């Protein structure tokens, strides 16, 4: 796996003071540990509204913080003289449909707090994740281009698309160094996700190992873009370490690794667990999935900052089953 950050000097890297907001979540927890490896435990401050794993809480500074509390976040930024912020707190697609205004408030307020801190030069660099949810039913479904029709039909998608516009605006108007990726469904075994439409692709591994069966809330032929956690972390670190002039897109980059349907994933799992059985019982999340792309064209990220994934469906399935088995034995 080629990591762009390796070319950077150690002293440059240790002069960073990083704050991760949403550090106890699915991506935040693994990202925090990777950043601590790279930049030193004391230079990476993890924060979340809830406590994290023992490993996260014990390996470096941890602050309880609400991402929408401007005074609280500003106090942490000042206390540690933070240079870089990774804003990972968000309400995901399925939960957001149930409590739309709360989702809008969390997803937008947290972003404005960080963008304004960067505008006021209190921080130097911002990472903010967008999502494939920025696309909608009128977007070309296959190999969705970087620039295309975007009419998201979910609250989460509307908040992410709006956020992208604001990121680009703050870059153009105020020179804020903000960088962003449109994450596909991120698959991992260490921390469970919460409230996403792509969560079936994680639950299925738990079901396969525990009960040798799983009932999918998406139809068997629903293709969605997906990525193994290690690749998502690598992309996040790589875009933050890329030279500023190489990051030409300041809204958000398409990012891709693989696409599969529930039935294709089930067949891959059957190669390891032959008596695994899958059933299908689509619920309200089917409509969300139907509005999203089946596959993504990420050639702009590949050209601009050399993005390239390492895990395909086979590699992801092996890593998930192996990782989960280790955690449960």
The catalytic residue positions are 156
Q: Closest CB to ligand AKB among 23 and 132?
A: 132
Q: How far is the CB of 164 from ligand AKB (least distance, A)?
A: 13
Helix runs in the chain, H state only: 10-14, 26-39, 54-58, 70-80, 93-98, 100-119, 155-174, 200-211, 229-241, 262-270, 285-290, 299-305, 313-328
Backbone angles phi, psi at 262, to 5 degrees: -55, -40
Q: Closest CB to ligand AKB among 164 and 241?
A: 164
Using alpha carbons, select from 68, 253, 292, 73 the residue that is nearest to residue 168.
253
Q: Output DSSP code: residue 296.
A: B
Q: How far is the CB of 119 from ligand AKB (least distance, A)?
A: 26
Q: How far is the CB of 156 from ligand AKB (least distance, A)?
A: 6
Q: How far is the CB of 121 from ligand AKB (least distance, A)?
A: 31
Spell out a b/e string for 74-89, using b for 16 or more CB atoms within 10 Å of the CB, else e: bebbeebebbbbbbbb
Q: How far is the CB of 154 from ligand AKB (least distance, A)?
A: 8
The site for ligand AKB (CB under 6 A) is made up of 92-93, 131-133, 156, 183, 185, 196-198
- Looking from the CA of 91 toward its CB, the CA atoms found within 13 Å total 23
Residue located via tokens 């660099």:
125
Q: How far is the CB of 12 from ligand AKB (least distance, A)?
A: 32
CB closest to ligand AKB, residue no? 196
Query: SS3 for 177?
Result: strand
Backbone angles phi, psi at 278, to 5 degrees: -120, 140
114 close to 123: Cβ distance less than 8 angstroms: yes
Sign of CA dihedral 265, 33, 19, 256: negative
Q: Closest CB to ligand AKB among 44 and 204?
A: 204
Q: Closest CB to ligand AKB among 23 and 133?
A: 133
Q: Closest CB to ligand AKB among 62 and 217?
A: 217
Backbone angles phi, psi at 178, to 5 degrees: -110, 140
Task: Report the relative pairing of strands 258-260 and 224-228 from DSSP bridges.
Answer: antiparallel
Angle between helices 100-119 and 70-80 (to 10 degrees): 40
Backbone angles phi, psi at 114, to 5 degrees: -75, -45
Q: Closest CB to ligand AKB among 61 and 196?
A: 196
């Amino acid at each position: 796996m080629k990591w762009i950050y390796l070319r950077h000097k150690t002293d440059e890297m240790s002069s960073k003071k990083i704050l991760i907001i949403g550090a106890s979540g699915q991506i935040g927890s693994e990202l925090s540990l990777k950043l601590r490896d790279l930049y030193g435990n004391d230079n990476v401050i993890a924060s979340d509204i809830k406590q994290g794993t023992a490993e996260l809480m014990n390996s470096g500074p941890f602050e309880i913080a609400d991402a929408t509390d401007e005074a609280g976040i500003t106090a942490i930024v000042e206390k540690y003289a933070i240079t870089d912020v990774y804003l990972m707190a968000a309400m995901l697609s399925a939960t957001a449909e149930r409590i739309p205004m709360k989702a809008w408030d969390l997803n937008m307020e947290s972003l404005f707090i960080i963008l304004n801190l960067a505008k006021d030069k209190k921080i130097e660099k911002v990472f903010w994740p967008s999502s494939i949810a920025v696309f909608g039913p009128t977007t070309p479904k296959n190999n969705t281009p970087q620039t295309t029709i975007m009419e998201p039909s979910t609250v989460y998608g509307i908040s992410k698309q709006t956020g992208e516009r604001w990121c680009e605006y703050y870059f153009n108007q105020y020179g804020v160094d903000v960088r962003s990726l449109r994450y596909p469904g991120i698959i991992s075994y260490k921390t469970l996700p919460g409230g996403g439409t792509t969560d079936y692709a994680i639950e299925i591994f738990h079901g396969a190992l525990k009960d040798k069966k799983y009932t999918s809330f998406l139809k068997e032929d629903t293709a969605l873009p997906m990525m193994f956690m290690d690749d998502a972390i690598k992309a996040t670190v790589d875009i933050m370490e890329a030279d500023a002039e190489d990051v030409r897109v300041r809204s958000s980059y398409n990012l891709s690794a693989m696409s599969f349907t529930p039935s294709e994933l089930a067949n891959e799992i059957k190669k390891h667990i032959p008596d695994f059985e899958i059933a299908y019982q689509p619920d309200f999340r089917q409509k969300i999935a139907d509005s999203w792309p089946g596959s993504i064209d990420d050639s702009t990220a590949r050209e601009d900052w050399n993005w390239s994934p390492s895990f395909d469906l086979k590699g992801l399935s092996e890593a998930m089953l192996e990782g989960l088995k280790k955690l449960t034995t």
